[in-house]
Amino acid sequence: MSDISPVEGFEAYPTRPGFIRHNGGFFLHCERPVIGARITEEHLNPLRIAHGGFLATLADTSFGAVLRRQYDLPVAPVTVNLNIDYLGAVREGDWVEVYVTVHKFGRTVINASCELKVGDRLALRAHGNFMVWTGEIPAVK
């Protein structure tokens, strides 16, 4: 499936069986706080553009992946609140990149925002509040 290959500098973000793997997986930039994904037919809505739910998934996972690596956490933090502004369409075949910025890593709440771009074009902005997971982590089946 050549159309889901990443661009240079990215590598596959490891996932357990579940929602992300079922939807094609994402790519994490080796150094920068950026997640990439290639849009396939399985991500589309009836207007033949990327489904808002898929883009929300990409934003949410980007926050988790970046926070996890940046703060050396065993699992992604729990999302308390996620707010998404949809600013433009994303189409099949597009390579999208999500740029994450962490604004505050507080004692109780983590605050971060991201921009989802296709090339230079801004297609989505999201921000959210998160909490470090302090419960048990299930073993991989």
Binding footprint of a copy of itself on the chain (CB under 8 A): 15-20, 22-23, 41-48, 50-54, 56-58, 60-61, 75-76, 78-88, 103-104, 106, 108-109, 111, 113, 115, 122, 125, 127, 129, 131, 133, 135, 137-138
Which residue bears the tokens 């740029």?
99
Tell me the chain's radius of gyration from C-alpha atoms. Answer: 15
Q: Is 48 exposed, middle or buried (0-12, 13-18, 19+ CB in 10 A)?
A: exposed
Exposure pattern of 114-139 as b/e (b: 16+ CB <10 Å)?
bbbbbeeeebbebbbbbebeeeeeee
The CB-of-8 to a copy of itself minimum distance in angstroms stands at: 26
The CB-of-136 to a copy of itself minimum distance in angstroms stands at: 9
Could you tell me which residues come within 8 angstroms of residue 46 by beta carbon, excluding any fewer than 6 positions away? none
Instruction: Name which of 20 and 100 has its Cβ closer to a copy of itself.
Output: 20
Instruction: Name which of 53 and 93 has its Cβ closer to a copy of itself.
Output: 53
The CB-of-89 to a copy of itself minimum distance in angstroms stands at: 9
Instruction: Name which of 54 and 95 has its Cβ closer to a copy of itself.
Output: 54
The CB-of-87 to a copy of itself minimum distance in angstroms stands at: 5
